[in-house]
Structure 1
Amino acid sequence: MTEIKGMIELSYGESDVLFQQASPSLGVYIILSGAIDLWHEEEGDARRKIASLHDGALLGETSVFDDTLHSVTAIASKPTKAIFIDAITFKKNFDNPLTRFVVTTLAARLRSSYGATDNKPGQAFHAYASYAEPVIVGQSPEILKSIPTPFEIKQFPFEIGCNFEADTVARNQGHLYLPIPPNPDPFLPYLEISRRDKGYIVKDLGTHDGLVINGHHIRKYSAKAVAPLVVGSNHIVIPASTLHKTEELMFEIYVPFQGHT
Structure 2
Amino acid sequence: MATNFLDKDGLIHFWAKIKEKFVRKELKTGSEDTYKVLSDNNLTDALVEKINNAGSSSFSGDYSALTGKPSIEGHEVATGNQTAASLGLETPGGAQAKADAAKTAAVAAVKTLGYQTSTQVESAITAKGYATADSVDSKVNAAKAELQGKITEAVSSALTYKGVKATKAELPVEGNKTGDMWHVTADANEYAWDGTKWEPMGGAVDLSGYMKKTDMVALTNGEIDNVTV
TM range (shorter): under 0.3
Q: TM-score, with normalisation over the residues of structure 1?
A: 0.15
Q: Which entry has the higher C-alpha Rg, 1 or 2?
A: 2
Query: Hey, which of these two has a bigger chunk of strand by percent?
Result: 1
Q: TM-score, with normalisation over the residues of structure 2?
A: 0.16
